[in-house]
């Protein structure tokens, strides 16, 4: 299949791949075999950067056998702001949900009752419990979060 895209569309595709790559690999210490095919496709697409007139985006590192973003690329691309926004929002959402889940299990000590609730009721209760944390974090961030001693 031949894909005919403009320079601007190629740039957007590259940025989308960079966001996906961050989500998949940002916490890996070593490359995962599970996502090797994604990394190879990324390299294949990035390899066309010169043909697309975007030499300022990457350099090829022989040492890493991969395309490395240039400082210009990091400064000019929207993907960094998109990733920062994602990380920020995901942090607060996960924190609220996990604290809500903890509270749900503390309130309803019988795990069997929780399992019997059904997903709709469970999601509603979890939403209610998480909402109080959403409100707290919107107003105060982590300012009033403390770890109590046993």
Distances (CA, A) of 50 to 10, 66, 107: 11, 15, 59
Please write the tens of the pLDDT for every residue from 67-108: 988 888 777 778 888 999 999 999 999 999 999 999 988 888
Please write the tens of the pLDDT for every residue from 38-68: 999 999 999 999 999 988 888 899 998 999 8
DSSP class of residue 29 equals S
Structural Rg of the chain based on CA atoms: 22
Secondary structure class of 144 (helix, strand, coil): coil
What's the CA gap between 84 and 126, in Å, rounded?
26
What's the CA gap between 132 and 138, in Å, rounded?
10
User: For 69-118, where are the alpha helices, taking DSSP H only?
Assistant: 71-76, 79-107, 111-116
């Amino acid at each position: 299949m031949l894909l005919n895209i403009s320079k601007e569309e190629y740039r957007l595709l590259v940025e989308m791949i960079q966001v996906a790559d961050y989500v998949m690999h940002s916490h890996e210490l070593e490359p995962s075999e599970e996502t090797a095919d994604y990394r190879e496709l990324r390299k294949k697409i990035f390899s066309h950067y010169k043909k697309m007139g975007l030499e300022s985006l990457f350099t090829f590192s022989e040492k890493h056998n991969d395309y490395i973003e240039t400082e210009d690329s990091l400064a000019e691309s929207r993907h960094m702001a998109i990733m920062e926004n994602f990380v920020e929002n995901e942090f607060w959402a996960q924190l609220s949900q996990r604290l809500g889940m903890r509270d749900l299990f503390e309130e309803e000590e019988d795990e069997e009752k929780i399992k019997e609730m059904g997903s709709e009721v469970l999601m509603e209760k979890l939403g209610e419990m998480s909402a109080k944390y959403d409100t707290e974090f919107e107003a105060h961030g982590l300012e009033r979060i403390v770890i109590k001693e046993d």
